[in-house]
Amino acid sequence: MNKTSRIYIAGHKGLVGSAILRRLQSEGYNNLLYKTHGEVDLCNQSDVKSFFKKEKPEYIFLAAARAGGIQANSAFPAEFIYINSAIQLNIIHNAHMYGTKKLLFLGSSCIYPRLCPQPMKEEYLLTGLLEPTNEPYAIAKIAGIRMCQAYNRQYGTNFISVMPTNLYGPNDNFDPETSHVLPALIRKFHEAKAGDKKTVEIWGTGTPKREFLYVDDLAEACIFLMNRYDGSDIINIGTGEEIPIKELAYIIKEVAGFNGELTFDTSKPDGTPRKLLDVNRINSLGWKAETGLKDGIEKTYKWYLEEAGSKPACR
């Protein structure tokens, strides 16, 4: 990409898209293209085709998606498979039809088998059964990866796919029912402190391990790969470090300044026991995550307090 390239960020209001947009702007890219849902419905084939016909983006960051935590994935499996499949079918196909030079597709670490050897190398894709709580989402994302690879093979396109680990940061969803664990716990501890509660409830046993990447690090990695990596092989993006949910909860408890106790609701699912990415491939290309977990949580909590904490229903 050069600074005047026509770059489309699909999903610019979400956690990932907004971070990519911020980063591109701060690096001086000045021909950026983004549309609200009201302007272009990415699930609508003719809307997307008209948009591409008119705008002909040269580069695309495909960050638009329906994403959510373990409970949202279980409660809305149809939406997770339909919306994600529709968005990527429309964008990837039209990127080919209208001559996009390069597209970066965002997958997810949940594409790997539930009981995958750890850390998970890129070549473990499709070597075992998926985690049932998010299978429809994972199947959609796997279809997106295979679609990029198929178009590269048949049409000679340059569509790359990256697999981020669990993400967090500004513009995340803090809804306690549908969000991922990290924003959910930020909100729970914050509200418990504000309401002088004695306990905060953690879902599951607290023993599953997860890897967390600050979204500004992901944005940096995506722009790095867009500029430096060509190829159909998928690339993991993570920190290479994991932490049990219980320990994560203690860090957030401290950051939010809550003095009470934790309780564990074991009627809620744990999900996959471990999900640690092998990040050797991206590290050897010259990129490494910089933001430490506590530092990233502090930044996110600050953002929550400033931007969302004062609103009654923050999503």
- Residue ranges binding ligand GFB (CB under 6 A): 69-71, 73, 108, 110, 133-134, 137, 166, 179-181, 184-185, 202-204, 208, 210, 245, 268-271
Nearer of residues 109 and 157 to ligand GFB, judged by Cβ: 109
Nearer of residues 57 and 107 to ligand GFB, judged by Cβ: 107
Smallest separation (angstroms) from ligand GFB to the CB of 214: 14
Give first-to-last CA distance, the chain, whole Å: 33
Smallest separation (angstroms) from ligand GFB to the CB of 305: 19
Nearer of residues 12 and 210 to ligand GFB, judged by Cβ: 210
In this structure, are residues 93 and 46 in contact, taking their beta carbons and an 8 Å threshold?
A: no
Nearer of residues 158 and 179 to ligand GFB, judged by Cβ: 179
In this structure, are residues 99 and 213 in contact, taking their beta carbons and an 8 Å threshold?
A: no
d(CA 95, CA 231): 17
Distances (CA, A) of 10 to 20, 43, 286: 10, 12, 26
Q: Which among 137, 229, 301, 304 is annotated as catalytic?
A: 137
Nearer of residues 107 and 170 to ligand GFB, judged by Cβ: 107
Q: Is 137 annotated as catalytic? A: yes
Smallest separation (angstroms) from ligand GFB to the CB of 24: 23
Taking residue 146's Cβ as centre, other Cβ atoms within 10 Å add up to: 14
Smallest separation (angstroms) from ligand GFB to the CB of 51: 27
Encoded amino acid at 210, one letter: R
Smallest separation (angstroms) from ligand GFB to the CB of 49: 29
What proportions of the chain, in percent to the nearest 5, are helix, strand and coil? 45, 15, 40
CB closest to ligand GFB, residue no: 69
d(CA 156, CA 95): 12
- Kindly state the tokens that stand for 158: 């340059």
Q: What phi, psi does 294 have (nearest 5°)?
A: -65, -40
Catalytic site residues? Answer: 137
